[in-house]
A and B are shown apart, each in its own frame.
Chain A
Amino acid sequence: MDDKTKSSRRSFRDFAFKALKAAIKAIIVYVAYFFVWSFLSPLSELIPGIQQMMETFVIVYIVLMILGDLTSGTIYQHFFSAAKALFVIGYLMLSLNGGLFGITFENISLMIDLRVFMLIAMILGLLGLAKSVLQAIDFMNQKAELPLR
Chain B
Amino acid sequence: MNIPIKMIGIATTIFWVFLIAFSVSAAFSAKDIQFNFGDPQTGMTADNELFFSLPIAIANRGFYSIGDFNVTSKASDMNGNEIARGASFVSIIRPGEEITMFHNITLDINEILQGDRNYLFNDTDLRIHEAVGLSLATIIPVQASGNFTLPWGAPLYNFMLGNPTYSPYNATHFRVNVPISFENHAFFDLTGSLQIHMYNDRNTRIGDGQTNIETAQHTGYNGNIEFYISIVNAITPGTSPEGHFDVYLFSPLFNYGPWVIPYG
Contacts and interface: CB of A to CB of B under 8 A. Distances in A.
B145 A124 contact: no
Interface residues on B, range: 20 to 34
Contacts of A134: 1, 4-5, 8
A42 B31 CA distance: 8
Contacts of B20: 36
A128 B12 contact: yes
B139 A111 contact: no
Contacts of A117: 19, 23, 140
B230 to A, nearest CB: 61
B140 A107 contact: no
Nearest to B5: A134
B172 interface: no
Contacts, number: 68
A138 B1 CA distance: 7
B146 interface: yes
Interface residues of A, number: 27
A108 B5 contact: no
Contacts of A120: 15, 19
Given A120-B19, A131-B8, A107 B24 contact: no
Interface in B8-43: 8-9, 11-12, 15-16, 19-20, 23-25, 27-28, 31
Interface string B137-148: 001111111111
Given A109-B145, A121-B19, A127 B12 contact: yes
Given A124-B16, A131-B12, A110 B2 contact: no
Interface string A29-72: 00000001001101100000000000000000000000000000
Contact of B140 (A36, A110, A116, A131): A116
Interface of A: 36, 39-40, 42-43, 107-114, 116-117, 120-121, 124, 127-128, 130-131, 134-135, 137-138, 141
